[in-house]
Amino acid sequence: MTPFHKRPLGYSKLLVPEVCLGTMTFGEQTDEADAHRQLDFALAAGINFIDTAEMYAVPPRAETCGASETIVGRWLARQQREQIILATKVAGPARSLTWIRNGPPAMDRTNIRTAIEGSLRRLQTDYIDLYQLHWPERNQPMFGQWQYEPDKERECTGIREQLEALVELVREGKVRYVGVSNEHPWGIMQFVRLADELGLPRIVSTQNAYHLLNRTFETGLAEVCHREQVGLLAYSPLAFGHLTGKYLADPGAPGRLTQWPNFGQRYTKPNVAPATQAYADLARQNGLTPTQLALGFVRSRWFVASTIIGASSLAQLQETLPATQTPLSAEILGEIDAIHLRYTNPAP
């Protein structure tokens, strides 16, 4: 592998590698020994950006809640802390995760403070480089929903109150920078506007799904994030394994979607299979694997600060990490756009 480039994360002073190691398999599909081997392999390759969350492993359940952070923490204790860029997330309400802070009932000061104390303890560190709100508390379409439904409005903690809770953590030195995840343009603009008006911490990133089957980021968020200096941390670049092509040949192939059939609702929509087939055909016509095409595409986008990749094993990571460096010609990128216009965002 060639050295990984580093890119600025939003307006922050953080320079992050163009690939980030995601850890949501740690503690479920991936045991601790293999997880530590993955972390060692990534770090040796120059990937010092690690992303986790208090609710991980996934799919979320009470028995594995916090397991990923705990596994990362035991590895982190053996590292030079200042050499690692560590990101984690606080879970919000409305996802039926009743085992996390009894709900959690809100993204308010009490819950955010309780959440970060737990994360710091599990991660065996006294600060987080990037602390992210895992999903908006307010009503909005996410995780496979594709329409905003105003009749589902509910009481929620205001964005100002969330920022006021986060600024305390920044001032106390427990958090360096703050970010969001699974956000939409209105939310990004509200976070930025209130931060600027009230002197509160500005978000530096949003972690959103972005891949060949879901390019919705390009429609409104790309402009907003560019103008407001908010970096994209692109997750699911392989669309839960769909873009490897393995489910085309064998719908029952081993993977998260066959082990937990209800986990990938985004990928049950009618155009997922034909779009995936078209991308797989394009890859093979150009001497590439579908994985190389998918990962090379995400890395090529001008608005992606870092691509989050995860693996269930070291062997899988050894395959996917080099694939992120696949160069794509202008001709291939043009063919990708042609397929995208035929099958536009089949898995939003």
Rounded Cα–Cα distance for residues 332 and 321 (Å): 21
Rounded Cα–Cα distance for residues 12 and 26 (Å): 28
Tokens of 138: 């307010």
How high is the pLDDT of residue 251? 82
How high is the pLDDT of residue 8? 97
* pLDDT tens-digit map of 208-227: 999 999 999 999 999 999 99
Rounded Cα–Cα distance for residues 58 and 37 (Å): 20
* pLDDT tens-digit map of 16-38: 999 999 999 999 999 999 999 99
Tokens of 308: 């989050």
Query: Which amino acid is residue 222, in one-letter code?
Result: A
At residue 3, the 3 state secondary structure works out as: coil
- Long-range CB contacts for residues 140-147, cutoff 8 Å, separation at least 24: 140/184, 140/187, 141/184, 142/182, 143/182, 143/265, 143/266, 144/265, 144/266, 144/347, 144/348, 146/348
How high is the pLDDT of residue 71? 98
How high is the pLDDT of residue 252? 77
How high is the pLDDT of residue 110? 97
Rounded Cα–Cα distance for residues 313 and 38 (Å): 7
Which stretches of the chain score pLDDT less than 50?
none
> Hey, where are the domains in the chain?
6-342
Q: How many residues does the chain have?
A: 348
Q: Of all residues in the chain, what percent are helix, strand and coil, respectively (each to 5)?
A: 45, 15, 40
CATH superfamily of 6-342: NADP-dependent oxidoreductase domain (3.20.20.100)
Active site residues: 56
Name the nearest CA neighbour of 302 among 47, 25, 5, 51: 5
The dihedral over CA atoms of 76, 50, 176, 123, expressed in degrees to the nearest 10, equals -40
314 in Cβ contact with 345 (< 8 Å): no
At residue 231, the 3 state secondary structure works out as: strand
Query: Which amino acid is residue 40, in one-letter code?
Result: D
Query: Which amino acid is residue 342, in one-letter code?
Result: R
At residue 151, the 3 state secondary structure works out as: helix
How high is the pLDDT of residue 195? 98
54 in Cβ contact with 118 (< 8 Å): yes
How high is the pLDDT of residue 145? 84
